[in-house]
Amino acid sequence: MSAPVETTASGQPRTYQVRTFGCQMNVHDSERIAGLLEAAGYVRAAADATPDVVVFNTCAVRENADNRLYGNLGHLRPVKKAHAGMQIAVGGCLAQKDREEIIRRAPWVDVVFGTNNIGRLPVLLERARHNGEAQVEIAESLEVFPSTLPARRESFYSAWVSISVGCNNTCTFCIVPSLRGKETDRRPGDILAEVEALVADGVLEITLLGQNVNSYGVEFGDRQAFSKLLRACGGIEGLERVRFTSPHPRDFTPDVIAAMAETSNVCHQLHMPLQSGSDRILRAMRRSYRAERYLNILRQVREAMPDAAISTDIIVGFPGETEEDFQATLDVVRQARFAQAFTFQYSPRPGTPAASFPDQVPAEVVRERYQRLVALVEEITWEENKRLVGATVEVLVAVGEGRKDTSTGRMSGRARDGRLVHFSVPEGTTVRPGDVVHVEVTYAAPHHLVADGPLLSHRRTRAGDAWEAAQAAPAATGRPGGVMLGMPTVGPPVSAS
C-alpha cells in the first residue's frame, strides 16, 4: 500500500529539511524523522531551495542549546512569512523539556513533539495545517521503539542500530534521564534482525547505540546480554565492523572485554566517559566509580587488546572543582593515554541538580583549565598517533571524508580503531566511499594520520557499488549519499513498560 503524497497548493510534493543538534542518538532519530516524512510522501528539499517543512531535532545538554534553537527560529520567521504554507516543527530533548514554552517564545512554530513520539510527526503536521493552529504533543513514555520506524540513512556503508533508549543513571550534570525516560531495551532477536537486514543492504559497519549500552539487558534480567550481543554480531556474514557507544564504567564487565577481544569483527575501539579524575568530584557528579576503578578497566582492555584506541569525555569546572581536583584529572589523562578526548567546559543546565550546587567555578578559571587540558590531550594523542607511523592500517573510505582533495590527491576514511586517515590515491585509480583500502602510515598529527605511499590493497564493496549507482541516478534513491529503508519486519513495536 503506497503512502499518501503530501502536496503543495500547486500539486508538487511537499519538501522537507531536518536540522540536527546534539548526540549520536539525535542523529539516529533524525534518520527516522526523514524516513517518516518520505514514507508520508514528502521529498527532501534541494540544498538551494526553501523547504515546505523544516524540522529541528534539538539537544538540551549542550551549552546555549536554547539560544541556538531560538536564534534559528528567529531567522526562519521572515522566510516562513514569505512562503505560504511553510511549516516549522521542533522535536528532540529541548522540545521534551520546554513544550508549550517554545510556542510562547516562537508562535510561528507549527508543531512541537517529544523524544518519545517521533512517529506522530506526519500526523501532527497534517493536523496543524488542517486546524490552522500549533500542535504540541509530548508523550511521557515511549510509544514506539524508534528502530521500528522507517529511516532515511545518510550512509551506504555504515549504520546506527539502537539497542536501548533512556537511561537509569542519575548523574547530577545530566538532564537526559528526565527527557528520554528510564532505559527500555530491545530484544536481541529484533536487534540482530535489523543488523542482518542492513548487511543485506550492503552495510559493512554498524554502531550499537544506547545511552548506556553495557547496562543492556537489565530490563529482561540478563546481565551478560551486551557481551552476548557482541558475540552474536560476530556470526553475521558480511558484517565487517562492529562499534558501540557509549558504555558506563560502572557497568563495564570482564565478559564485555572478552567479547571484544574474541569477536573478529568487533573493533578494538572503546569510548569510555571519564568526566573527572577526582574521586571527590566523581562523587558529587554521582558517578558510581572512582579513578582507580576507571584506570583498572583500561588496563584490562589493553591486556586483552594491546592495540585498543580509547577515547573519553571530560568535563572541566564542575561546581566545587579545585585546582587539586583538576590536577587529579590531568593525572588520569596522563595514565590513560587517550587516543581522543571530547572535552567540555561545565555550564549549568536548568533542571539538573548540579545547576543549584554552591561553589560554581568562575568562567575564567574554567576556560584556563580547559586550555591546559586540551593542550595535554593533544600532546598525548600526537604521541600515540606517532607510534603508528610505518604501520599498515585498514581504512573504510567515508562519504564526506571520502571526497578526493584535488590539491593533495588524498581521500579519507576511518581505520578499524576509529582514527581518521588521509591517504593518497594514484592517478587513474577510482576509490569510492564504502570501499576498503590498506595503506601504510607515513605521518601523524594530533587528530589524524596520513598515508602518502601507494595503496597496498583496494577492495571494491557492495556499499561502494550502491554509492556509485546513487551518483549516477540520484532520483532513484532520493538524493546522492542517502538510502531509504522501510519498517523492519522484526516483530511488533516495542512499547515502554
Q: How big is the chain by its Cα radius of gyration, in Å?
A: 23
For residues 418-430, average pLDDT: 93
* Residue 33 or residue 494, greater confidence: 33
SS3 of residue 77 by DSSP:
helix
In this prediction, residue 485 carries a pLDDT of 46
pLDDT band at 178 (very low <50, low <70, confident <90, very high): confident
Which among 425, 386, 431, 390 has a CA at the least distance from the CA of 407? 425
pLDDT band at 482 (very low <50, low <70, confident <90, very high): low
Least confident of 172-186, 232-246, 320-334, 398-412: 398-412
In this prediction, residue 474 carries a pLDDT of 57
Question: What's the pTM value of the predicted model, to 2 decimals?
Answer: 0.85
pLDDT per residue as tens digits for the range 126-154: 999 999 999 999 988 777 777 778 888 87
DSSP, res 140: S
pLDDT band at 400 (very low <50, low <70, confident <90, very high): low
Which residues in 307-406 belong to E strands, given as ranges?
Answer: 309-316, 340-345, 392-397
pLDDT surpassing 50 at residue 491: no
pLDDT per residue as tens digits for the range 6-38: 666 666 899 999 998 877 788 888 999 999 999
For residues 287-295, average pLDDT: 97
pLDDT per residue as tens digits for the range 332-350: 999 999 999 999 999 888 7
How would you classify the pairing of strands 309-316 and 410-415? unpaired
In this prediction, residue 494 carries a pLDDT of 28
In this prediction, residue 487 carries a pLDDT of 34
Give the residue carrying C-alpha cell 581505520.
415
Which among 368, 304, 300, 370 has a CA at the least distance from the CA of 341? 370
SS3 of residue 44 by DSSP:
strand
In this prediction, residue 3 carries a pLDDT of 45
In this prediction, residue 10 carries a pLDDT of 64
Which among 331, 416, 329 has a CA at the least distance from the CA of 370? 329
pLDDT per residue as tens digits for the range 224-239: 999 999 999 999 999 9
Domain ranges (residues) in the chain: 15-143, 146-382, 392-473
For residues 68-82, average pLDDT: 93
pLDDT per residue as tens digits for the range 88-97: 999 988 888 8
pLDDT band at 392 (very low <50, low <70, confident <90, very high): very high
Give the CATH class of 146-382.
alpha beta
For residues 298-320, average pLDDT: 97
pLDDT surpassing 70 at residue 492: no
Report the CATH fold assignment for 392-473: OB fold (Dihydrolipoamide Acetyltransferase, E2P) (2.40.50)
CA distances from 31 to 26, 107, 120, 214, 407 (A): 9, 27, 15, 24, 33
For residues 158-183, average pLDDT: 87
**341 is written with which cell numbers?**
578526548
pLDDT band at 401 (very low <50, low <70, confident <90, very high): low
**Residues of the chain above pLDDT 90, percent:** 69
The secondary structure of 334-395 as a DSSP string is HHH--SEEEEEE----TTSGGGG-S-PPPHHHHHHHHHHHHHHHHHHHHHHHHTTTT-EEEE
Q: Give CA angle at 261 (259, 264), nearest 5°.
A: 90
Candidate ranges 36-40, 265-269, 410-414; pick with highest mean pLDDT: 265-269
Residue 48 CA to residue 335 CA, distance in Å, equals 49
Which among 212, 276, 208, 217 has a CA at the least distance from the CA of 248? 212
In this prediction, residue 59 carries a pLDDT of 83
**Residues of the chain above pLDDT 70, percent:** 91
Q: Is 175 in contact with 93 (CB distance < 8 Å)?
A: yes
In this prediction, residue 457 carries a pLDDT of 97
Report the CATH fold assignment for 15-143: Rossmann fold (3.40.50)
